[in-house]
Amino acid sequence: MWNFLAMLLKGFSQIFFQENVIMGALIALGLLIASPTALLLALLGGTVSALTNKFLGFDQSLYNAGIAAFNGIIIGCAMSFYIKSLPISLLAVVVGSIIGGLIFFILVKNHITPYALPFILVTFLTVLVVKVFGIH
């Protein structure tokens, strides 16, 4: 359990190009203060993204560094901003983090550094769907 939590906190710190549990905890604390909903969705997104990549056989050292959780965390933050309905945002985070995790895994397996591309694609498509269908 501690290993998973440490990996998730490192995922938060990866937002600022760090691999540090304390930095990740401070970022999570900042999210808690600013928006508990954003923290909840970021934790959900990071967890789903990490588990997706773990299931697919992602490189263990990159997984432990929080890289597998990074895109899911920022997808969760974005969904908290763009979708105000909690049930819909929860669904969007789960689906988006799975898709983002798949994109991330495919790019890494093909020796392409994905950075935040999965987050950008998933968030862009989600915002497009939200605007077209008037989901709030």
Residuewise pLDDT in 10s, the chain (136 residues): 889 999 999 999 999 999 999 999 999 999 999 999 999 999 999 999 999 999 999 989 989 999 999 999 999 999 999 999 999 999 999 999 999 999 999 999 999 999 999 999 999 999 899 889 988 7
Q: Which domain holds residue 18?
A: 2-133
> Which pTM does this prediction carry?
0.94
- Specify the number of domains making up the chain: 1
SS3 letters for the chain?
Answer: CHHHHHHHHHHHHHCCCCCCHHHHHHHHHHHHHHCHHHHHHHHHHHHHHHHHHHHHCCCHHHHHCCHHHHHHHHHHHHHHHHCCCHHHHHHHHHHHHHHHHHHHHHHHHCCCCCCCHHHHHHHHHHHHHHHHHCCC
Question: Which CATH number do you get for residue 62?
Answer: 1.10.3430.10
